[in-house]
Amino acid sequence: MSRTRVYSYNPVSASARDLAKGLGVLRVKHEGSKFKPRPDDVVINWGASDLPDYLTAGKVLQDPAQVGLCSNKLKFFQLNEDSGVIPDFTDSKEVAANWCRDGKTVVCRTKLSGHSGEGIVIAETEEQLVDAPLYVMYVKKKDEYRIHVFNGEVIDFQRKARRLDCEDANWQVRNYVNGFTYVREGVDPPSSVLEAALLSMKSTTLLFGAVDVIFNEHNNKPVVLEVNTAPGLMGTTLHNYVEAFKKIL
């Protein structure tokens, strides 16, 4: 009889812990693990871009090389370059400077694999530009969604909303530190947002991912920002991931 285990990029990941609990399986320790996978065993890779060699003896769900590729924001944009659902981007500071001269706002990404707004510098003028491996043209947005895609289907979605306990929210970079949290009550993303998330995932070989998509109501256009391969899980989202994994295990 095959066995299933969860291996997480972070040994103390709460979402990996809760996923394993929901599935009724164990997690693989980063150190001192006694688990020796057989060919019919299944290893759920939760956000790791590198797996211990011994785990590849089993069937790995979520290719670590693909996780590493997609966690790099520049490489993820390059994968989706012809999809029409990503923002204008460049690795050239001079091109970014031209954008500023044209009155555009530029997001300087000083860290390609940063999360929660890490490494973001907003530049509205050429003088505010900093050296960075990636520059993205800022897109105004009405809403920002997280679309959870599993095996080519949308299994859940959420929207970022201002936290009621935060009076000075940053509407350009919407994360928890800047005053935002995820909500689901009354959330109904435009169909184009869901389609953009699915399209961006098709450029990868990922089994699952949480795609962050912004929506510009004036242009009726969704724009994909990134995909998360180890998203936070709780409540309905956790339940939906557990059920999705059960269908394929």
Is the whole model's pTM more than 0.85, yes or no?
yes
Identify the pLDDT of residue 183: 86
What number is the average pLDDT over the span 194-209? 97
C-beta separation of 226 from 4 below 8 A: no
Distance (Å, rounded) from C-alpha 237 to C-alpha 55? Answer: 27
Q: For residue 193, what is the DSSP state? A: H
User: Using only C-alpha atoms, what is the Rg of the chain?
Assistant: 19
Identify the pLDDT of residue 220: 86
Q: For residue 86, what is the DSSP state? A: S
Most confident of 139-143, 169-173, 197-201: 197-201
What number is the average pLDDT over the span 163-174? 70
Identify the pLDDT of residue 177: 61
- What does the DSSP assignment read for 9-78? SSTT-HHHHHHHHHHT-EEPPSSS------TT-EEEEES-S---GGGGGSEEES-HHHHHHHHSHHHHHH
pLDDT digit string (tens) for 147-157? 999 999 999 99
Identify the pLDDT of residue 133: 97
How far from 41 is each of 6, 32, 37, 89, 156, CA to CA, in Å? Answer: 11, 19, 6, 41, 27
Tell which wins on pLDDT, 219 or 56: 56
Identify the pLDDT of residue 21: 98
Burial class (CB in 10 A: 0-12, 13-18, 19+), 198: middle
Tell which wins on pLDDT, 220 or 25: 25
- Answer yes or no: is pLDDT of 176 > 70: no
Distance (Å, rounded) from C-alpha 9 to C-alpha 32? Answer: 16
Most confident of 111-115, 174-178, 183-187: 183-187
Tokens of 50: 């590198």
Q: Which residue has the tokens 């001192």?
A: 32
pLDDT digit string (tens) for 36-94? 999 999 999 999 999 999 999 999 999 999 999 999 999 999 999 999 999 999 999 99
- Answer yes or no: is pLDDT of 167 > 80: no
